[in-house]
Structure 1
Amino acid sequence: MAQPTLSAPELLNSCHDLSRFSCGKPTLDHWLKTRSLANQQKGFTVVIVVHVANRVVGYYGLAPTAIIPTALPRSIRTGQPPNPMPCILLGQLATDQAWVGQGIGTGLFNHALARSVNGAALIGGRALVVNAVDEDAASFWCRRGFLPSKDDALVLFRSIADIASSLKAADSAAHDH
């Protein structure tokens, strides 16, 4: 029997089965199961999922946000920024524990980065913001170029310009092979 294939990232809809999703972080599981679809329908968040036969095995959420400039790392704050400064929030990013190690989280992360750069090109946005659920998550984001807030080590930032240049570098490296 053929193994069911993983979908491409797509917008969450009511046909997706969220009931069995478990990433090991109860707050992320709970948000997906109870708030994600309503938040998306109300225009608060865009939720992108990957699934196998409609069973969601990974997801992330993106939303516009605004940050007080003094909370931002100096390298991102530069010049005379508006107060608050427009940013994009990567509110959630999680992979079902049964699917960890198959590149789903990395794929979703890269998809979120590309979407954030495209979104900022359309409407503005200085940085991508993440709220890490714990210190393990914060170190995950730090390894990916995010800088902690001056006020809270669990709130991290990476400038859209930095993300765009890293995506361009990865893209040109891929084309060189």
Structure 2
Amino acid sequence: MTDYSSLFISALDGSHERSGFHCGVPALDNYLHKQASQDVKRRISRVFVATTPANPHIIVGYYTLSTLSIELDQLPDRIARKLPRHPIPAALLGRLAVDQQARGHGVGRMLLVNAIQRTLAVSDQIAIYAMIVDAIDEQARSFYEQFGFSLLDSGVHHRLFLPLKSV
């Protein structure tokens, strides 16, 4: 049985075996198999992968980070009224997926915590007000809500946010 308690999370590179990853959601599988490396090369997003010490080239989970701006009218009034009247900088956790064989071992939680920590570290160098996630379905939405994410009024179904000052 694979030990998922001490994952190594690093930037996707050519040594990682992408084709064996299967989370069960074709769009997330196909992204990693076919698009992720191109997005990294084009500086569209950064892709971070989780591997185990026993199999450092086998991906058991991944997430993507990029940037975006949030319009004030998407934020709850109680937050928006305290902010300047222009778009607010944010980090987008665009995708987060766990291989089917690694489900139920806390891999998703570890990936999310790593993404938040990585974003907090960058926010010391560049302004980032919040982390945004696009939950793929209700189950994913519930997962993010457990970590304090709240629904945005963005017109994007299941788009949630977490102000970094609340972390």
TM over 0.5: yes
2:99 counterpart (96, 102, 116): 96
- 1:112-163 deviation digits (Å, cap 9, x = unpaired): 1101111112100111000111122112111211110123441000101012
Answer yes or no: is 1:110 the counterpart of 2:106: no
Deviation at 1:105, TM superposition (A): 1.3
Displacement of 1:60? 0.7
RMSD between aligned residues: 2.0
Secondary structure of 1:92's aligned partner:
strand
Shift, 1:8, TM fit: 0.9
The yes-or-no answer on 1:134 pairing with 2:157 is no
1:93 is paired with a residue of what secondary structure? strand
User: TM-score scaled to structure 2, two decimals?
Assistant: 0.88
Unaligned runs of 5+ in 2: none
Which consecutive residues of structure 1, in runs of 5 or more, have no partner in the other structure? 164-177
C-alpha separation in 2, matches of 1:144 and 1:135:
15
Instruction: Give, as a single letter, the amino acid of the residue that structure 2 aligns with 1:86.
Output: P
CA displacement, residues 52-108 of structure 1 (integer Å, 9 cap, x when unaligned): 241111111111111111112334434242522110001111110101122221111
Match of 2:30, SS state, is helix
Between Structure 1 and Structure 2, the one with more helix by share is: 1
Work out the CA distance in 2 between the residues paired with 1:102 and 1:3: 10
Look up the match of 1:22.
22
- Between the two proteins, the alignment pairs up a number of residues equal to 162
| Matched position secondary structure for 2:104 | coil
Normalising to structure 1: TM-score of the pair? Answer: 0.83
Amino acid paired to 2:166: D
Contact 1:73–1:147, Cα closer than 8 Å, also in 2: no
Q: Distance in 2 between matches of 1:141 and 1:16?
A: 27
8 Å Cα contact 1:76-1:159 kept in structure 2: no
Change (3 A) 1:4 1:109: closer
Separation of aligned partners in 1, 2:137 and 2:119: 23
In 1: Cα distance, 2:2 partner to 2:139 partner: 32
1:155 aligns with 2:159: yes
SS in 2 for 1:123: coil
